[in-house]
Amino acid sequence: MPNEIHASWQHQREARAFVHRLWNGDRPGAMLALEPGLGKSKVAIDLAGDIGASPVLVVCPMRIVDVWRRQLELHANFPYLFCGLDDRAGSVAKKTAMAHDAIVLARASRRTAFLVINYDAAWREPFASFALTNTWPLVIADELHRAKSVSGRASRFMGRLGLRATRRLGLTGTPLPHDLLDIWAQYRFLDRSIYDETFWAFKTRYAILGGFQNRQIKGFRDEDDYHRRFYSIAYRATKEVLDLPPEMDELLYTDLTPNGRHVYDELEANLITWLGTAPENEITVKNALVLLLRLQQLTGGALKDDSGQWHNEDTSKESLLTDWLEDLPNDEPVVIFAHFIPDLDASVRACEKTGRKASEVSGRSPHGIADWQAGKTQILVAQDQTASEGQDFTRARYCVFYSMGYSLYRYVQARARVHRAGQARPTTYYHLLCRDTVDETILRAVQHRWEIVETILKEKQKYVTRSTAAPLR
């Protein structure tokens, strides 16, 4: 019988029952498409306990490995053994040996073994052979959208791994990070019978193609059939089920300094510029993507020349952040997201100018969250690539986007670190933008894609009944 020692929300109970109906029927795979903060991990742990599965293989992003340790401590009411196979475990060979030993130990002690490994290590040898020669009672793919790339090594491995699992569970808050085609590779892992056997057949069925050599996606068709199949094994819930405090967005504008505007306009017009008088400080751009990257770096204040050296060319956005912090109470917690390393530095400088200490979490400083969570600092400066998954920043009600990339997934995930279960106060997101620059273009592009994806998912909820799994015919 399902355990209920840890209280569950209504949507968690519904999701759990939904998956059981699939597994007790003829469907081996299920997706929990619950937005961040709605407790996907708890549902997965409860399901593992319900069926007595051991060993359980969990594949997830690197930064989420240790999150599973904490989730098991909170929610597992059965004997278990946690085996975390992140970068601290050493080489892939060592991870494989640790996984084997954990299974043996768990069996001897009658515990459920949870082997948690990151996507990039799972497909490498010798772990890949170890995983693909075993039969798994349950494989959980956390942040399953990471496997959306049809030809990616991790995605292809997950497709093969699904065939070695009696039951499969995919967890994601953003099942369609870009468009409807993102789902095919994810369902290749969960249940290959839902959509077409090949991606080309799937794409041809649902995408309207045009443009150069008929390769551009102009739109989609047969969406009713697409969503009927999607919701046949997917349970979807959004933050509305929690009745969270409201959230709102504020746009804070500034102008580039005269020097910054000169460099920006020259680079945009001529695809080349010089920083200062030294000839080696040349910046050349070879294509449109690199141009957008360089222009975006410049709006943050720093620009990298052709030799790889950074130059501080503008202070407008740093000054804007400093001015905003001046009006903030000293004891008010804040999270500042930035995309580039120099933007992190600029954010820290702005904090220092206002007499505030900041903690940093980034690729160069991955463990800076603890001091902020403990209240030793009030400002957390976070790189979006590092801190947009698996973290709880509900200590703050203010979130600043100093800079952001084109990734809809990272943007949505970053927002969800603050506005999620546990947030008791209204949340405000501040976007720092330089007028008449790529900043405005990026924000519009990401928010437009977000609106499209949200519309697609919300409008098609009529194809799923919360109480029953929609059958395929």
Between CA 352 and CA 274 the distance in angstroms is 30
Cite the beta strand spans of 155-233 per DSSP E: 168-171, 207-210, 216-220
What confidence tens digit (pLDDT) does each residue in 104-118 have?
999 999 999 999 999
What confidence tens digit (pLDDT) does each residue in 40-81 have?
999 999 999 999 999 999 999 887 898 899 899 999 999 999
pLDDT over 60 at 222, yes or no = yes
Residue 469 covered by a domain: no
Burial (CB count <10 Å: 0-12, 13-18, 19+), residue 137: middle
Residues 183 and 47 in one domain: yes
Residues 233 and 258 in one domain: no
What is each CA distance from 274 to 283, 286, 304, in whole angstroms? 6, 15, 11
Between CA 219 and CA 210 the distance in angstroms is 9
Residues 161 and 302 in one domain: no
Residues 307 and 371 in one domain: yes
In the chain, the number of structural domains is 2
β-strands 168-171, 138-142 pairing: parallel
**Quick one: average pLDDT of 451-459?**
66
Q: Are the C-beta atoms of 409 and 384 separated by less than 8 Å?
A: no
Residue 3 covered by a domain: no
* Residue from 307, 248, 258, 265 nearest 282 by CA: 307
What confidence tens digit (pLDDT) does each residue in 356-394 have?
999 999 988 877 888 999 999 999 999 988 876 778 899
What pLDDT does 323 receive?
A: 92
Residues 184 and 168 in one domain: yes
What confidence tens digit (pLDDT) does each residue in 311-325 have?
899 999 999 999 999
**Mean pLDDT, the chain, as a whole number?**
89
Residue 136 carries which DSSP code? B
Residue 386 covered by a domain: yes
Residue 239 carries which DSSP code? G
- Residue 179, domain CATH: 3.40.50.10810
- Residue 438, domain CATH: 3.40.50.300
What is each CA distance from 170 to 19, 66, 143, 417, in whole angstroms? 11, 18, 7, 20
Please count the CA atoms within 13 angstroms of the CA of 346 that sit on its side-chain side.
31
Per-residue confidence band for 298, with pLDDT thresholds at 50, 70 and 90: very high
DSSP bridge partners of 273: 283
Per residue, the 3-state secondary structure of 260-292, as one string, reads: HHHHHHHHHHHCEEECCCCCCCEEECCCHHHHH
Residue 113 carries which DSSP code? E
Please count the CA atoms within 13 angstroms of the CA of 342 that sit on its side-chain side.
20
Residues 273 and 389 in one domain: yes
Residue 81 covered by a domain: yes
> Above pLDDT 70, what percent of the chain?
92
The residue range of the domain holding 102 is: 10-242+457-463
Residue 90 covered by a domain: yes
Q: What is the pTM of this model?
A: 0.74
Residues 382 and 290 in one domain: yes
Q: Are the C-beta atoms of 65 and 98 separated by less than 8 Å?
A: no
Strands across the sheet with 168-171, in order? 80-85, 112-118, 56-60, 138-142, 168-171, 29-34, 234-237
What pLDDT does 35 receive?
A: 86
DSSP bridge partners of 430: 250, 400
Residues 367 and 220 in one domain: no
Residue 2 covered by a domain: no
Residues 424 and 380 in one domain: yes
Q: Are the C-beta atoms of 41 and 202 separated by less than 8 Å?
A: no
Q: Are the C-beta atoms of 356 and 329 separated by less than 8 Å?
A: no
Residues 198 and 58 in one domain: yes
